[in-house]
C-alpha cells in the first residue's frame, strides 16, 4: 500500500477543513491501495472486515468527499454502478478491464485531430475530454484462454 498516498490524502482532507473520521480513514485506506475500480459496495464489503460498525451511507459520503477533493475519480463501468480509483495526475486516459476492474493509465494527446473535427462539425468549443477504453487485461485474457482450452 502506498503509505505516502494515504498520508497525503489525510493531509489534504484535514487542510480542507474535514474531520479525519474512522470511516473516512478506512475508505481512503482501501482506495489508496487498490489498482481496481471499486464501487461503494465493494469498498463497504472490504471495509466491514476491519470496521464492522461502518455504514454504507458513510462509505458513500466519504467517497463523495474524496472525489470532490480530487483524490479519487469516477470510472464508468459497463453494466455496473460507477466505481472509483485513485485520481491520476496530468493528462492521462484509462484502460479498464471489463471483467476484473483493473485500471491502468496511459498518456495520449493524439486526439487533437478528432477533437478539432468535432468542434468544426458541432460548433462546440471543447474544453476538456475524458477517455476510457474497455477490454480484458492480460490476466483475464489468460484466464479466458485457459478456460476455453479445458472445455
Q: Is-above-0.75 flag for pTM?
A: no
The closest alpha carbon to 136, from 83, 98, 104, belongs to 98
Q: Domain ranges for the chain, please list them.
A: 1-87, 90-151
* Sheet order of strands, 132-135 included: 103-106, 93-97, 132-135
> Cα-atom radius of gyration of the chain, to the nearest Å?
18
1-87 against 90-151: fold identical = no
- pLDDT value at 91 more than 80: no
pLDDT at residue 119, rounded to an integer = 94
pLDDT at residue 1, rounded to an integer = 45
CATH code for residues 90-151: 3.30.1490.190
pLDDT at residue 54, rounded to an integer = 94
- pLDDT value at 16 more than 50: yes
CATH code for residues 1-87: 1.10.10.10
Amino acid at each position: 500500500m502506498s503509505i505516502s498516498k494515504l498520508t497525503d490524502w489525510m493531509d489534504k482532507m484535514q487542510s480542507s477543513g474535514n474531520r479525519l473520521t474512522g470511516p473516512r480513514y478506512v475508505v481512503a485506506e482501501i482506495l489508496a491501495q487498490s489498482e481496481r475500480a471499486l464501487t461503494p459496495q465493494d469498498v463497504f464489503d472490504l471495509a466491514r472486515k476491519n470496521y464492522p460498525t461502518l455504514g454504507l451511507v458513510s462509505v458513500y459520503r466519504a467517497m463523495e468527499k474524496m472525489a470532490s477533493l480530487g483524490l479519487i475519480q469516477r470510472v464508468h463501468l459497463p453494466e455496473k454502478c460507477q466505481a472509483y480509483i485513485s485520481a491520476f495526475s496530468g493528462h492521462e486516459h484509462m484502460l479498464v478491464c471489463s471483467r476484473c476492474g483493473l485500471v491502468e493509465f496511459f498518456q495520449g494527446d493524439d486526439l487533437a485531430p478528432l477533437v478539432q473535427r468535432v468542434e468544426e462539425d458541432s460548433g462546440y468549443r471543447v474544453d476538456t475530454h475524458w477517455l476510457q477504453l474497455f477490454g480484458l487485461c492480460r490476466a483475464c485474457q489468460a484466464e479466458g484462454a485457459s478456460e476455453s482450452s479445458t472445455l
